[in-house]
Amino acid sequence: MTVPPIPGSGRSGAHNAPLRGAAPERLSAPDAGIAAPWDTWRSREALQQPHYPDRDAVEDVTTVLRRQPPLVFAGEVDDLRAWLGAAGRGDAFVLTGGDCAETFAEATADHLRLKIQTLLQMAVVLTYGASLPVVKIGRIAGQYAKPRSADMETRDGVTLPSYRGDAVNSYEFTPQARIPDPARLLELYHHASSTLNLIRAFTKGGYADLRLVHHWNRGFTQNPAYAKYESLAEEIHRAVKFMEAAGANFEAMREVDLYSSHEALLLEYESAMTRIDSRSGDAYNTSGHFLWIGERTRDLEGAHIELLARVRNPIGVKLGPTTSVSQMLGLVERLNPDGEEGRLTFITRMGADKIRDVLPPLLEASVADGRPVTWTTDPMHGNTITSSTGYKTRRFETIMDEVRGFFEAHEDVGTVPGGIHVELTGDDVTEIVGGSEELDDEGLRRRYETVVDPRLNHQQSLEMAFQVAELLRRN
């Protein structure tokens, strides 16, 4: 398997992460009292922001945040941008996965380990299927804030502010718990920091060793429910054996890069985490490597676009089924006017029944525009339903149908399906129906644990990876 060089970094190999060049980077915040160049978002309309009762407390917290060390570094962010450029050209494939909403309570070593393990297992299967490096991105270490369709929630005649993620308020349905508390932004920072520490330890400390991850995957296919994936697993096994026999340097492949991402929703936090890189003079959002703008906050004139237009990070934008060609081109113009590869990723979330109609005209217009875009599919958010037992759920088969529709649309237009973006957990939860274990509406009761959207459990995530690997092989 040959691996194309990582653009811009002089490195090669998806599995390798040599140290970057000698110049030490310094990321600094502007001095107190001086407006930052990215503060222009403050004069734009900011949707989906918490209504904090005490503005002075917000000031105090953001002053502290501005003094905290960056969570991610400019060099890493630049590497990811280059990788996303490669995925846009068809030289890599992106796997983004993690919770709809991380919670402070579940930012524990056990939960994180299983989530990281799941992503690594999926990545090995996809790498084989695509014969390409897989760019691994977690919805992790910062995915703590949620946009909501309603500001208020009513239960049994009681109306309180909606839960907006642990970064804003508490899930518990009491008046006190639901008041937005800016001190939670600091908690968010510290949880993101300890999560990133664990990710760095796991991915650089031998836990990501291909042979180990492959061994876990063999365990998965030994379960009779997943026997149909055994032949693909066997092929991977032979490939690993072949590499071993041919003298592949497994020691050098013990490390992987796992990047962090989240929806850049809370503008006070995202803005306070933005720093100037001393080497380039450019602004970087140091709260995560990849930031995306959600379907509800992607207004061209809005504050979210204004803030992210001013940082160097690779940016994603969710595109729902009503996205027009002019909105899409407006986003390219606002976020990637110079047409830099890897800068802009569109994450389509159209719904399985719409993607085959809605996506092709957008792809055609993007080709005609000529500026590069990396296209990925979120097959989750357009396919949410309520089960007969009253749970917010999704069907595994419908999710896979949207993924297939995504591949078909790209095939029709001659563009590159660059990756998948999914909500998953490493735990054995029961939130999504279907899959080979045939979880049904009744089964949802067993372990329905998500605080917002339903996630693929560990087994369903691996099953998806095997199915996507088959699609990639045909591609």
Residues at the interface with ligand PEP (CB under 6 A): 100, 147, 263, 294-296, 318, 349, 381, 453
Q: Which does 349 bind (CB under 5 to 8 A by kind): Mn ion, ligand PEP, none?
A: ligand PEP
Q: Which does 13 bind (CB under 5 to 8 A by kind): Mn ion, ligand PEP, none?
A: none
Sequence-separated (6 or more) residues with CB below 8 Å from residue 251:
none
Paired residues of 97 in beta bridges: 138, 422
**Nearest approach, Cβ of residue 431 and Mn ion (Å):** 11
**Nearest approach, Cβ of residue 453 and Mn ion (Å):** 3
Q: Which of 435, 440, 442 lies closest to 460 in space, CA to CA?
A: 435
Q: Which does 11 bind (CB under 5 to 8 A by kind): ligand PEP, Mn ion, none?
A: none
Answer yes or no whether residue 140 interacts with Mn ion by CB under 5 A. no
**Nearest approach, Cβ of residue 380 and Mn ion (Å):** 7
Nearer to Mn ion, 257 or 453 (CB): 453
Answer yes or no whether residue 453 interacts with Mn ion by CB under 5 A. yes
- Which H, E and C letters describe 104-152, residue by residue? HHHCCHHHHHHHHHHHHHHHHHHHHHHCCCEEEEEEECCCCCCCCCCCE
- Please give the Cα distance from 329 to 246 (Å, whole number): 48
Neighbours of 219 (CB within 10 A): 11
What phi, psi does 306 have (nearest 5°)?
-60, -45
**Nearest approach, Cβ of residue 2 and Mn ion (Å):** 37
Nearer to ligand PEP, 310 or 349 (CB): 349
Instruction: Please say whether the beta carbons of 349 and 295 come within 8 A.
Output: yes
Nearer to ligand PEP, 66 or 304 (CB): 304
Neighbours of 427 (CB within 10 A): 17
Q: Which stretch binds Mn ion (CB under 5 A): 299-307, 309-317, 318-326, 446-454?
A: 446-454
Q: Which stretch binds Mn ion (CB under 5 A): 34-42, 119-127, 291-299, 445-453?
A: 445-453
Instruction: Please say whether the beta carbons of 374 and 363 come within 8 A.
Output: no
Q: Which does 166 bind (CB under 5 to 8 A by kind): Mn ion, ligand PEP, none?
A: none
Nearer to ligand PEP, 268 or 453 (CB): 453
**Nearest approach, Cβ of residue 425 and Mn ion (Å):** 12
Q: Which stretch binds Mn ion (CB under 5 A): 92-100, 115-123, 266-274, 424-432?
A: 92-100
- Please give the Cα distance from 237 to 255 (Å, whole number): 20
Residue 231: C-alpha distances to residues 124, 226, 235, 327, 469 (Å): 15, 11, 6, 44, 12
**Nearest approach, Cβ of residue 371 and ligand PEP (Å):** 22
What phi, psi does 32 have (nearest 5°)?
-55, 140
Paired residues of 421 in beta bridges: 96
Out of 14, 100, 130, 273, the residue judged to bind Mn ion by CB under 5 A:
100
**Nearest approach, Cβ of residue 101 and Mn ion (Å):** 7
**Nearest approach, Cβ of residue 450 and Mn ion (Å):** 9
Strands annotated E in 221-342: 258-263, 274-277, 283-285, 290-293, 315-319
Q: Which does 304 bind (CB under 5 to 8 A by kind): ligand PEP, Mn ion, none?
A: none
List interacting residues with Mn ion (CB under 5 A). 100, 453
